[in-house]
Amino acid sequence: MASGGLAGRGAPASGGAGAAGASSTHAGLGGTVTSLGGSMSATAGATPSGGRAPNPGANAGASGDPAEENEAGAGGEAGMLGPAGGAAGSAANGGRPGTGGANQSAAGGGATAAGSGGAGTGGDGVGGTGGTTPSAIQVVFVVALENHDPGEVIGNTTDAPYLNGLVDSYASAAKFLDQFAISTPSEPHYIWMEAGTNEFDDRVFTSDGSPSATNSTADTQHLVTQIAAATSGITWRSYQEGIDDSTGACPIASSGHYAAKHNPFVFFRDVSGDPPSKTNAYCAAHHKGIAALAGDLAAESVATFNFITPDLCHDMHGQTGCPSSNLVRSGDDWLAANLPPVVAYVTSHSGVIFLVWDEGHHTTTMPFVAVGPGTKKGYVSDVTYMHGSLLKSVERILGLPVLPRVSSDNDLGDLFEVGKFP
């Protein structure tokens, strides 16, 4: 993982001829990356006027979300997989093939890209904030929470005073709907946040099992692989509370209060290996424990896209052994302790935080809050949103192609002031 800050924000290297352009240097773990190619801009996808209607019958009859499930992931280290194009980075250091631009340093020495891009020992690294986005928003944080209806959280100033302060100060959604039936467990929801579906040619996710040879997919049409393939230098990282030696550096095994089902990336084999492995280098290079977040913010070494999952005691889910049975208050206390430096960061770095719940409790509606300097203050949107709306919006912010699976979902633009989205 890169521990250095963002040293420059010049234009990213372009593919092809590599005409001289602005220079950008990003600090990695002892390495630097310099982009010498011409600048490149990405065109955001078009915004459709209508959203997709919820499908309350999808996966009906799936098993409920067990609060105490801790399934072991499959062992066995796998070879690295990555998108085609460019020269391959070192698999031992978390590398993956380049994609026509700079391979930034994630662990170890730096790499230089000129024109079509050279090999990097860290592949698409996570040092600094990464390349610039074509959006008014330059950095994205997603905080994933669990299992509550809006009425259990919004307006509940007794148990959630901090969260309601954010609602009063920033923007929220009144109609964030579940694409699944209320009986559908957590894992398909998290997979949907990453890929816009839970149904792939080789796997349909309907349960809460940890990643394994059979409970994973080779599909590459998902967000973080889009990020890795981008030539603009954007990066991604997952911060997971509770990961340790027992979960793996690539945390495919649920252990303690960490639940792999709440970490969508490890179910994709181009991230975690084939089969998924605790020691997969690329996956490990993109995961950190939550304790690292404050230091990364202070060092300005967070990624362009950051996904944060509190553990089961702090995400409003709950589990046997948690210190409190007041799930909303436990989650709010965690937010109050951990979110202020993230809010300060997005305020000073033109960023946004999306607080998203995986599902409701008694209904198929859930809370959703957008925090950032460009959001409408104290605004409650009446537009219909789903988890596909979150994915589509992140793609638009980062200048990525919008996956066809979510093209008909409404983006989150109504939550932002004019000119502040994407």
What is the sign of the dihedral through the CA atoms of 38, 223, 370 and 405?
Answer: positive
> How far is Cα 385 from Cα 51, in angstroms, rounded to an integer?
7
Closest CA to 379 of 173, 174, 171: 171
**Rounded to 10 degrees, what is the CA torsion of 168, 174, 176, 178?**
130
Stretch 147-166: mean pLDDT: 96
Q: What is the pLDDT of residue 129?
A: 57
DSSP three-state, residue 131: coil
Q: Lowest mean pLDDT of 97-106, 226-235, 260-269, name the range.
A: 97-106
Side chain identity, residue 304:
T
pLDDT tens by residue, 125-147: 444 556 789 999 999 999 999 99
* Domains recognised in the chain with CATH numbers: 61-106+128-415 (3.40.720)
Residues in the chain: 422
User: How many other β-carbons are positioned within 10 Å of the β-carbon of residue 35?
Assistant: 31
Find where tokens 């065109």 sit: 43
In the predicted model, what is the mean pLDDT of the chain?
A: 78
Give yes or no for residue 88 having a pLDDT over 60: no
Q: Which of 10-19, 68-77, 97-106, 176-185 has the highest mean pLDDT?
A: 176-185
Give yes or no for residue 27 having a pLDDT over 60: no
> How far is Cα 115 from Cα 169, in angstroms, rounded to an integer?
44
> How far is Cα 159 from Cα 155, in angstroms, rounded to an integer?
9
